[in-house]
Chains A and B, each alone.
Chain A
């Protein structure tokens, strides 16, 4: 197989590889963009730990309510309780739901909080009655520890998610680097192939030039020979014409008996033959 053909095949393969690597690289870049967007996740740890803060403030508010100069009304306590109910909704739904889904004991903790809040609501409605406030505080105390553990579980889950995100990003970056390297390698291969092809073409061109030169020399030689032949023939025809004229002229005179009848009729016949032959030869010579 001619070297040029080999180069063409290798070139086609390299270009195809280049295109495939390029497409894969674009896909990797878009995946990286997606992964980067997820780096700043919703901070569920903050949301879970706020449950404890609101929990404690409800307890303080209830305690302050029991003191004669606490400055806290039943409405204030109800507000704290409503805020706690909102927090329950946050812990149950959306991104924080995953904590409960992963660990059943955390889901159970949330269920217990809901039950406790229900009991506390009915106590808050008659908060001014003896024992109601104490009942609220006791109920809160029983649930408090589980709230801390829920927040800790949320924290742990968040840490794992961040680590996973980081791993994914690093993997994508590795792929990206490999592909970029591959692209560079393809580029180098293409350049090398171009050089090879160039060299082969140059060699072919050199060979072609040589053949052309040989042909030109041969052509000139042939032309020269042909010219020489023509010149020779031209000269020869001129050299032949002169005696032919004599042959034709004189044989005509004899055949036509210009200067009197021929002594022998046979010589007249012979002269006629000579004239005919001479005229034939003249025709031939005239072609040149």
Chain B
């Protein structure tokens, strides 16, 4: 059969799609400074032994969000800046339906991944403009925008607000 222009452009289109899919396979890069977060489990985008390891710059590179909310841990309202959980899950290609978040002191909580889409929730890096150290719930703190929805203001979601996050396992 004659190589028609239509067949040629179709082939080009398919090739383009394949290339972009391949490109999405490893957009994460490697951590330059000390790693602060390791994501493992049912994920497709990894950069080290089947896990996705992040340093602060890599997380900030995913795009930051911020909100101001009251919390049971501070008297006044607090401004949190960090990576939205939704963005992080997309960046690692999470395919499970829940995540287990484990802290430096081994506290852990299980969150449904659906929370990332349903509520405003982030992994906070900064509190009131300052990076959070371990002594101030850092380096990462899962925070919901409690003021945005009265359904969030109860122990169910306070228990999900893990601070001093070390690892996330996607199940």
Query: Residues of A with Cβ closer than 8 Å to B?
Result: 37, 39-44, 50, 53-54, 57, 79, 82-83, 85-86, 89-90, 93-95, 97
Contacts and interface: CB of A to CB of B under 8 A. Distances in A.
B164 A42 contact: no
Given A40-B156, A83-B164, A86-B164, A94 B104 contact: no
Interface string B52-77: 00000000000000000001111100
B13 interface: no
Nearest to A40: B154
Contacts of A44: 72
Contacts of B153: 37
Interface of B: 71-75, 104-105, 107, 133-137, 150, 153-156, 158-159, 163-164
Given A93-B73, A93-B74, A50 B135 contact: no
Contact of A43 (B155, B163, B164): B155
A83 B105 contact: yes
Given A82-B134, A86-B135, A41 B75 contact: no
Contact of A94 (B73, B154, B159, B163): B73
B136 A89 contact: yes
A2 to B, nearest CB: 55
Contacts of A50: 105, 107
Given A79-B134, A85-B135, A89-B135, A42 B158 contact: yes
A97 B75 CA distance: 9
A40 to B, nearest CB: 3
A40 B146 CA distance: 14
Contacts of A53: 105
A53 B74 CA distance: 22
B72 A94 contact: yes
Given A85-B134, A86-B134, 13 more contacts: A37-B154, A42-B72, A43-B155, A43-B159, A54-B105, A82-B133, A82-B134, A83-B105, A83-B164, A94-B74, A94-B75, A95-B72, A95-B73
A50 B159 CA distance: 13
A37 B150 CA distance: 8
A42 B133 CA distance: 23
Given A40-B155, A43-B159, A93-B75, A82 B135 contact: yes
Contacts of B159: 43
Contacts of A89: 135-137
Q: Kindly list the 10 A-B residue pairs having the minimum CB-CB distance in the complex, ordered from nearest.
A: A40-B154, A42-B72, A82-B134, A94-B73, A85-B135, A95-B72, A40-B155, A83-B105, A82-B135, A42-B158
Nearest to B138: A86
By CB atoms of chain B within 10 A, which of A40, A42, A90, A93 has the most? Answer: A42
A94 B146 CA distance: 14
A43 B72 CA distance: 10
A43 B158 contact: yes
B140 to A, nearest CB: 13
B101 to A, nearest CB: 16
A121 to B, nearest CB: 10
Nearest to B161: A42
B155 A42 contact: yes
A127 to B, nearest CB: 17
Nearest to A87: B105
Contacts of A41: 154-155
A56 to B, nearest CB: 11
